[in-house]
């Protein structure tokens, strides 16, 4: 592996943020610095990253341009949208990272064919990058803003990590109350996610029995943690995020199973989706895969359970990327835990009772994998413990503090995992962001995942999964149907309902919570920001239900 770094300081034009008005004939300083890093090379290709720091006034919307010195061609790029004509490259912001405050940094990464090379110059928004700040004259007849916009967090919620962490979901959109467990119609989950720009809260708990696939639109927050009783989930159908972007899903159960007439469906589908984050979700009984993701990008799954797939018995099929998997529980799956045909961060996960664990598919694609602090544990259906890494030819893996427990003796007492399957071992993480993901030892990660992964409170299905895993080798199966688990409700188990707290103004925040924080229970103030954190009032409420803030 070769590693070359170019630090190029440069001036760029700055465009005014939406809604920002400047003082008459004022001069606003504009500038940036650019760092270009060739992070990895392989025969016929290389990977690189470009970090841009805004040294001038805030901008909202940017395009970075540069030219390769040879015949290099970008084959995959993340955190932006790329077009290339010959050697000329243009990268546009991805929407969620369009805003750049003063001294803020954004970055894009890419894989390319050809010999690694460093562009000679960069331009941002049409102005050549040269090093400092450049004064730009604003148009006359405008006035200064009365107050600066709140800085606000970029992250989906305070504990979000990885490539999907910048999703904002339905922030600033309307609040939709799911008031029944019907398959469709007013007040149903299907209706709630059928339009963009919504925060979805639940006044009911239990299973929603689906008669067909549900399609989730863009700029949506699904706040399953607001459901009363034992929580909320879907039974008997796929939930599709196909073509969607900027979605947050928390504390929700996806249980397809044999009640779906199309057994080539998946538990959830991310075809052509981008900028998604799933936190404390439980996905079981997918027939084709629990998760299927083709041409999907910038996605995080954290503190979730992916277990008990039926049919093909596959955990997750992922392509394009990049993806982040953090502190998830994978259990009772034949293969694809995950199938990572993409640049991937895989940190502090537990994989149990696998026949093939972390898999790359032996494809012709060259991908980068940061695999850190994970525990692979064999179970009754594991045929070869060494398949914790499977079909990893042509891949580059940063392998640190991963462990394999192969003795099935009821104790957590594994040995260090090594790179195998034809992969090349990296000396350092391919992504600078990996070091920013909170990471503990594999053993400590196991304890945390066992205690906290999946939707809460845990229901019959997840309790069965966790019981299998904590047997540490003696329990577990590869299920052909959900019925075979022996649980009631045709094998899906039950989710008890409950009664929602009073919410007089229907803004998604209970009256008692609003009163506690000085809000008006009789006025819709979901979109406010009472303590100027950048999260809206309703986000403070729904995030606090899982993150133990604002209780």
List the catalytic residues.
336
Spatial CB neighbours of 128, under 8 Å, sequence gap ≥ 6: 10, 11, 121, 122
Secondary structure class of 26 (helix, strand, coil): coil
Spatial CB neighbours of 139, under 8 Å, sequence gap ≥ 6: none
Secondary structure class of 5 (helix, strand, coil): strand
- The answer to whether 160 and 541 are in contact (CB under 8 A) is no
Comparing CA positions, the residue from 297, 291, 293 lying closest to residue 316 is 291
Phi, psi of 190 (to 5 degrees): -60, -45
Comparing CA positions, the residue from 78, 79, 84, 75 lying closest to residue 112 is 75
d(CA 237, CA 269) in angstroms, rounded, equals 11
Q: Is 106 left (phi over 0), alpha (psi -120 to 50) or beta?
A: beta
Spatial CB neighbours of 419, under 8 Å, sequence gap ≥ 6: 389, 392, 397, 399, 425
Residue 45, number of CB atoms within 10 A of its CB = 18
Pairing of strands 122-124, 214-215: unpaired
Secondary structure class of 414 (helix, strand, coil): coil
d(CA 503, CA 506) in angstroms, rounded, equals 5
Spatial CB neighbours of 342, under 8 Å, sequence gap ≥ 6: 318, 319, 320, 321, 322, 323, 367
Comparing CA positions, the residue from 245, 371, 361, 298 lying closest to residue 76 is 298
Comparing CA positions, the residue from 88, 106, 121 lying closest to residue 9 is 121
- The answer to whether 194 and 217 are in contact (CB under 8 A) is yes
As to burial, measured by CB atoms within 10 angstroms (0-12 exposed, 13-18 middle, 19+ buried), residue 91 is buried
Spatial CB neighbours of 56, under 8 Å, sequence gap ≥ 6: 12, 14, 28, 29, 30, 31, 32, 102, 133, 134
d(CA 46, CA 69) in angstroms, rounded, equals 14
CA separation, residue 184 to residues 193, 211, 215, 270, 414 (Å): 11, 9, 12, 22, 49
């Amino acid at each position: 592996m070769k590693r070359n770094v170019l630090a190029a300081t440069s001036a760029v034009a700055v465009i005014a943020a939406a809604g920002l008005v400047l003082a008459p004939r004022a001069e606003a300083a504009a500038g940036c610095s650019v760092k270009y890093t060739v992070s990895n090379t392989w025969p016929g290709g290389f990977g690189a990253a470009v970090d841009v720091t805004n040294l001038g006034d805030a901008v909202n919307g940017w395009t970075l341009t540069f030219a390769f010195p040879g015949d290099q061609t970008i084959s995959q790029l993340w955190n932006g949208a790329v077009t290339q004509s010959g050697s000329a490259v243009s990268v546009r912001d991805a929407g969620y990272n369009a805003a750049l405050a003063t001294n803020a940094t954004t970055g894009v990464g890419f894989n390319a064919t050809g010999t690694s090379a460093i562009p000679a110059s960069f331009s941002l928004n049409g102005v050549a990058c040269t090093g400092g700040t450049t004064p730009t004259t604003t148009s006359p007849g405008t006035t200064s803003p009365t107050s600066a916009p709140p800085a606000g967090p970029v992250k989906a919620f305070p504990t979000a990590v990885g490539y999907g962490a910048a999703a904002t979901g339905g922030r600033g959109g309307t609040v939709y109350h799911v008031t029944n467990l019907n398959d469709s119609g007013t007040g149903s989950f299907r209706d709630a996610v059928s339009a963009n720009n919504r925060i979805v809260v639940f006044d009911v708990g239990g299973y929603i029995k689906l008669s067909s696939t549900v399609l989730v639109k863009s700029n949506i927050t699904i706040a399953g943690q607001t459901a009363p009783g034992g929580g909320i989930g879907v039974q008997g159908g796929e939930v599709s995020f196909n073509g969607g972007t900027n979605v947050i899903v928390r504390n929700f159960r996806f249980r397809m199973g044999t009640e779906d007439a199309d057994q080539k469906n998946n538990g959830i589908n991310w075809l052509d989706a981008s900028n998604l984050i799933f936190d404390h979700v439980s996905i079981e009984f997918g027939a084709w895969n629990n998760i299927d993701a083709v041409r999907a990008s910038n996605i995080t799954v954290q503190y979730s359970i992916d277990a008990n797939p039926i049919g093909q018995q596959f955990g997750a099929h992922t392509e394009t990327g990049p993806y982040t998997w953090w502190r998830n529980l994978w259990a009772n799956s034949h293969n694809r835990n995950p199938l990572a045909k993409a640049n991937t961060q895989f940190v502090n996960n537990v994989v149990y009772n696998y026949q093939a664990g972390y898999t790359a598919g032996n494809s012709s694609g060259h991908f980068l994998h940061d695999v850190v602090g994970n525990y692979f544990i064999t179970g009754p259906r594991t045929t070869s413990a060494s398949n914790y890494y499977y079909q990893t030819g042509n891949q580059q893996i940063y392998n640190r503090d991963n462990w394999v427990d192969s003795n099935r003796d009821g104790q957590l007492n594994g040995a260090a995992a090594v790179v195998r399957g034809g992969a090349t071992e990296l000396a350092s993480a391919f992504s600078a962001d990996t070091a920013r993901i909170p990471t503990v030892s594999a053993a400590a990660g196991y304890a945390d995942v066992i205690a906290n992964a999946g939707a809460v409170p845990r229901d019959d299905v997840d309790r069965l999964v966790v019981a299998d895993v904590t047997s540490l080798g003696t329990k577990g199966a590869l299920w052909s149907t959900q019925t075979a688990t022996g649980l009631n409700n045709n094998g899906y188990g039950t989710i008890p309902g409950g009664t929602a707290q009073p919410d007089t103004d229907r803004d998604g925040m209970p009256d008692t919570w609003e009163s506690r924080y000085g809000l008006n229970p009789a006025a819709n103030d979901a979109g406010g920001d009472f303590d100027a954190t950048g999260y809206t009032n309703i986000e403070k409420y729904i995030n606090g239900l899982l993150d133990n803030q604002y209780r």
